[in-house]
Every structure is written in structure tokens, then in C-alpha cells.
Chain A
Amino acid sequence: MADETADQERRGFLKWLTAGFLALWAPAAGIMTASFLKPPEHGPRVGERMIRAGTLSSLAIGESRFVRHGLEPIFVVRLADQQVMAVSAVCTHMQCILHWNRDNSTFLCPCHDGVFDKTGNVLSGPPKKPLRQYSAEIRSDEIVVFT
């Protein structure tokens, strides 16, 4: 009797084992499909990381320039004669694209009236975080921004 139950148990265990083994096909196929569908990441190439943002001489001091780049455009602001700054043009609140307010040198968000100063700090409105800054360089009259 005991032998029989043991045998049955063994059979049950084996059955579960084989079922489990066969069931492995499904997660394998699932993992493959999922990893196929995961968008490939390619690190930005050197050329893509360097954005040419126009000449310095055509940008007046205290003025900004809107630079289209990928999904995240950039504002380049000329702070002084030889000093430029690059900040993201995307509002940190709801990802709307900011406008440059020439009169008081601020960035204004058209969605919820968030206001940033020209270096990207929040002045008023719903945004909490300051704008993302990028390093910018002047290379013989050309402004180059690195992302």
C-alpha cells in the first residue's frame, strides 16, 4: 500500500516535472518577444552629442536662440560678451515647450504659466525643478552645445 502511494507520488512529481519542463517554452518565447520589442538603445554618437548652435556674433548679448534638436530643443542664451549658456527648452512641469520673453529675459511656459529666469531657475508657477543645463562652448565664433 505504502509502496503504491509512493509510486503515485513519484508519478505525480514526474508529471509535474514534465509539465513544468514543457511549460518553459512559453516563458522562453515570451522573453524573446519582449526583448525583441524593447527598443534598442544606441548611445548617442559623438557627432550627435555635439550640437552646432549657430554663430556667436549673430546672437546679441542678453538674447536667446531656440535650437531644434531631437525631441528636446534647447535655448542658447548669450549672457555676456564671451559667455553663453544652454538650457533645455522643455518645461519641467508638463513638458511643454517654453517661449522666450524678450522684455524681461525670462522663459514662459504656455501651458501653465510657469516662469523661469534666463539661467533656468524657477521664478513662479507650478514647475518645481529648474531647467536642465547643458555645457556650451564658443569655438571661433561658433556656439557648440554638448548634450
Chain B
Amino acid sequence: MTAWRTMGRSAFATAIVAALAWTHGAHAQDSTKTAPAPDAPAPAAPSPAATSATPVAEKVVLPPPSPLHERASHPLAAVPTDSKPTKTTRMCGVCHSDIRVKFDKGIHKSEEIGCISCHGGNPDAITIAEAHRGSGYRGRPRRADIPALCGSCHSDVARMRPYQLPSDQFALYRTSAHGLALARGTMNAAVCTDCHGVHEIRPADDPLSMVARHNVPTTCGRCHGGNGDPARPATPGSPLADYKAGIHGHALLVGNNNAAPECANCHGSHATAQPGARDVDKVCGQCHGKVRSFFMSSPHRGAVRRGGHSDCAVCHGNHKTTRIAATAFEKTCDSCHKPGTPEGAVAGRIQTMLADASAQIDRARERVSRAEKIPLYVEDYQARLEDARTALMEAAPATHTVDTTAVEPHTRRARSIAAEVSREVDEKLKGRWWRYVGLGLFWFYLILTAAILLRWRRRAIARSTSVR
């Protein structure tokens, strides 16, 4: 009952505004029934004391359910938590029109979260002074308060349930590098609005959202852009540029491959942190599981445990992840194992195996495409070349064992299939010699015929002159 009356009243207040600022006509008729005083102030937020006094009633009454007693201990206790629909920016948008435009593009607008949900104030007032007063007006929230402010709704399990949204972001954030820095008093540590936008907050699956997968690198890069940014001297290196130059960044941003990881896939989203040196293989192993299992069986694993090297990144880089070409194998290993050493020799052997197989495949492919242009029947060869390529691709994860016996079966298979294809296509190409024989035979006949004709011609001339 209380809820119904509250709603009616708020609707009536809205109706007054509608007359002035062409909003909400529909509720006006209902509201006349309750007919409160026309100058009734906008329903004030129930004071913390009042709400905590009636927690049971609040639980029963839906739709504005929230564990308000918990909120009372928040720094946000003053934020209005009434149930009235804050569908629009209402009067706030008259002065703050630039913000209204941004806000209208966001998700909160359609979920009836309005200006006062974060800023307080009186959205129906028609003077500036009145608008910026009362009902817990707080103006621009302090940076340090923002995570809790957002968390006041987003940590509410019941409230997030209909959206199937998680409600642990605030808790996660507090454990994150960002959250810890903020707690330490580093005021420029990222808060919710730095990544999700301030007023124009779009859902993550909106392609225009700052946290859409392909926008994440740019969003993170605003702070972690790299060297030379005086505002962020603590960020080492140039992670954004490196990421874009790496294979992951290229796949995501240029190749539109949505399976490629962005920053958060390795560093976490709300619980952002740098993976520890010993955890790099786990992070990479999320996607490269087979590679990781090969790596774990290799002697490198033990070395990592002992020496604390960051495993995958030593060879593949961290932000600028690179695939190591078959021909660059030895060079990469060189950085730790010098060429003369037995370990360096293993690297050389693996490189030779990979490079041989890859060269053999290239040679076979060149022959097949030459045959195809003639055209000869090459479908079978193409299928077998695909097998060879698959075998070579299987060799790549196996190299992480740094065990030549693990790599060799794959490269040998790739090499032998490709060599077989090369040989067979070569035979087919050479088998066309008879065309030239045929052509020679044709010319032989042609020249003989021409000789006979020339003889006849000579005789005809001789006869005609003798007649004359």
C-alpha cells in the first residue's frame, strides 16, 4: 500500500513537470485520485533511521528491495533510494543538456536509474538552488566513493538477478591492483567510471561500449598507454603499442577475431592484477592448453620453478606476443643457450626439422598450384597437403617439450607427405612430354607437306612457262 501511494505521488509530481517540460502524460490521470498538495515536495529519501527501523516491510514490498540496513553503513547512505521511476533526467537535463545527451545513450536510462540515483538533488525543481538541495544532494561524487556508489546497486544480488549480472564486482575490485591503490590513497587509480564511462555507460556487449572486447585495449591504454605519459609514470614499457603489435592485438583489432584475448583475459577485469611470474603458464594455458601441457613436461618447467623466470613470456613476449617462426627458432633460444652448448644444439636440430618440413610443404604447394593452372587434377594433392600442414601445426606445440623425439614424428610426417606430393605432381608434370613429341611430329608432317606442295608449285610454274 505504501508503495502504491508513493508511486502515485511521484507520478503526480511528474505530471506537473510534464505540463512544463512535455514529459509523462499517462500518469497524470491516476495521480488525480490521490491528489496530494500540488506543491508537495518530491518524496524524500527515507532517512536511514526510518528504513532500518522497518526492514521487514521493505523486504516484503517489491519492486524496490534492497538491504538498506547495510546501505546505512555506506558512505552513500544519503543517496535517495526511493522507488519512484526516474525514467528521465527530468529537469536536470534542462541545464545539464550535454550530460543528458550522453546519459540518454547509456543503459541506465532504460533501467530507470536517473541523475539523482548518483547525484541526489531534486529533479523536479525549477530553480537551480532548489534542484541542488535536499534529498541527499551530493553533486559530483568523490573518486574514492565511486566504487562503493556503483556497488550500492551492483553488489545487490537481488537487484542484479533479473539481469543475470554478477554482483561480486565491488568485492573483486577491492582485491584488485586498482582497488588496493585507491585504498592506499592513490587517487588516480582507476575506478568504475574510468573504464565503463561516466554518464554514457553502455553494457559490455554493446560494440560502442568502452569495455566491449575490441575497445578494451584502448580503454586500458588511456592510463597504461606507455612511456612518456607524465600522468602515469608508474606504468613500465608501452603495453598498448606492444599489444597492438603482437599477434593477439593483431588478431583482435585487425583480424576481427573475437577469440583473441584482450587485456582483461590475462589481467582480469574487476580483479585486475599482474599475473605472477609463476602463474604466466596458467594464464596462457587457458587458451593454449595443449602447449602448456607440453611445456610442463619440459625441463624448462623446473628451471622456471627454481629461477623464477616468467615462462611463456621469455620467448613469446608478454604484451607483444609473437609466434616464433620456424626459421627464428635458434635465434630465440640463443638468448639463454649459446650455440655451442648442447642445449643450443637441440634448438638447432628442432629448427632444422621445422624449417625442412615447412620448406618441403612450400615446394609441394608451388607445384600443385602450377599443376592446377594447366589444369591437372589436383584435389587429392590439395587434401594431402592439408594433412601435411596439419602435421606441421601439430609440431609447433610439441616444440615446447624441447624434446626432439616429440617433435620429430610430426615434422617427419609433414615432410614425407609433402615430398610425396611434390614427387607425384612432378611426375605428372613431366608426363606431359608427349605433347612436345606430338608437336614435333605435327611440324615434321607439316614441313613434309609443305615440301610436297612447294615441289608441285615449282612444277606448275615450270609447266606454265613452258606452255608460254
Q: For A24, what are the chain B residues with a Cβ–Cβ distance below 8 Å?
A: 445
Q: Does A22 contact B (CB under 8 A)?
A: yes
Q: Are A25 and B445 neighbours in the complex by a CB distance under 8 Å? A: yes
CB distance from B459 to the nearest CB of A (A): 12
Chain A 2-25 near chain B by CB (<8 Å), digits 1 or 0 = 000000000000000010011011
CB closest residue in chain A, given B456:
A18
Q: For A28, what are the chain B residues with a Cβ–Cβ distance below 8 Å?
A: 445
Chain B 424-458 near chain A by CB (<8 Å), digits 1 or 0 = 00000000000000000000010011001000000
A21 to B445, CA, bound (A): 9
Determine chain A's interface SS by DSSP, over half rule.
helix
Chain B 229-269 near chain A by CB (<8 Å), digits 1 or 0 = 00000000000000000000000000000000000000000
A28 to B448, CA, bound (A): 15
Number of interface residues of A (CB under 8 A): 6
Q: For A25, what are the chain B residues with a Cβ–Cβ distance below 8 Å?
A: 445, 449
CB distance from A30 to the nearest CB of B (A): 15
CB distance from A96 to the nearest CB of B (A): 36
CB distance from B184 to the nearest CB of A (A): 63
Q: For B448, what are the chain A residues with a Cβ–Cβ distance below 8 Å?
A: 21
Interface magnitude class on chain B: under 10
CB distance from B277 to the nearest CB of A (A): 49
Q: Are A18 and B445 neighbours in the complex by a CB distance under 8 Å? A: no
A53 to B327, CA, bound (A): 49
CB distance from A59 to the nearest CB of B (A): 33
A138 to B372, CA, bound (A): 38
CB closest residue in chain A, given B441:
A28
CB distance from B150 to the nearest CB of A (A): 55
Q: For B445, what are the chain A residues with a Cβ–Cβ distance below 8 Å?
A: 24-25, 28
CB distance from A48 to the nearest CB of B (A): 13
> Which residues between 31 and 47 of chain A lie within 8 Å of chain B, taking CB atoms?
none
CB closest residue in chain A, given B449:
A22
A22 to B449, CA, bound (A): 7
A21 to B451, CA, bound (A): 12
CB distance from B448 to the nearest CB of A (A): 7
A24 to B445, CA, bound (A): 9
A18 to B449, CA, bound (A): 9
A70 to B358, CA, bound (A): 41
A22 to B448, CA, bound (A): 9
A25 to B446, CA, bound (A): 10
Q: For A18, what are the chain B residues with a Cβ–Cβ distance below 8 Å?
A: 452
Q: For A21, what are the chain B residues with a Cβ–Cβ distance below 8 Å?
A: 448-449, 452
CB distance from A45 to the nearest CB of B (A): 9
CB distance from A57 to the nearest CB of B (A): 32
A25 to B448, CA, bound (A): 12
A25 to B450, CA, bound (A): 13
Q: For B452, what are the chain A residues with a Cβ–Cβ distance below 8 Å?
A: 18, 21-22
CB closest residue in chain A, given B442:
A28
CB distance from A17 to the nearest CB of B (A): 10
Q: For A22, what are the chain B residues with a Cβ–Cβ distance below 8 Å?
A: 449, 452
A25 to B449, CA, bound (A): 10
CB closest residue in chain B, given A46:
B380
Q: For B449, what are the chain A residues with a Cβ–Cβ distance below 8 Å?
A: 21-22, 25
A24 to B448, CA, bound (A): 12
CB distance from B444 to the nearest CB of A (A): 11
CB distance from B5 to the nearest CB of A (A): 65
CB distance from B293 to the nearest CB of A (A): 31
A22 to B452, CA, bound (A): 9
CB distance from B314 to the nearest CB of A (A): 47
CB closest residue in chain A, given B380:
A45
CB closest residue in chain B, given A28:
B445
A48 to B273, CA, bound (A): 57
A137 to B304, CA, bound (A): 55
A86 to B449, CA, bound (A): 60
CB distance from B374 to the nearest CB of A (A): 16
A21 to B449, CA, bound (A): 8
CB distance from A116 to the nearest CB of B (A): 39
A28 to B438, CA, bound (A): 12
CB distance from A28 to the nearest CB of B (A): 8
> Which residues between 133 and 148 of chain B lie within 8 Å of chain A, taking CB atoms?
none
CB distance from A133 to the nearest CB of B (A): 30
CB closest residue in chain B, given A17:
B452
CB distance from B457 to the nearest CB of A (A): 14
CB closest residue in chain B, given A24:
B445
CB distance from A23 to the nearest CB of B (A): 11
A25 to B452, CA, bound (A): 14
Could you list some 10 contacts between A and B, CB below 8 A?
A18-B452, A21-B448, A21-B449, A21-B452, A22-B449, A22-B452, A24-B445, A25-B445, A25-B449, A28-B445
Residues of A within 8 A of B (CB): 18, 21-22, 24-25, 28
The 8 closest A-B pairs by CB, nearest first: A18-B452, A22-B449, A22-B452, A21-B448, A21-B452, A24-B445, A25-B449, A25-B445
Sample of 7 further A-B pairs with CB below 8 A, known A21-B448, A21-B452, A28-B445? A18-B452, A21-B449, A22-B449, A22-B452, A24-B445, A25-B445, A25-B449
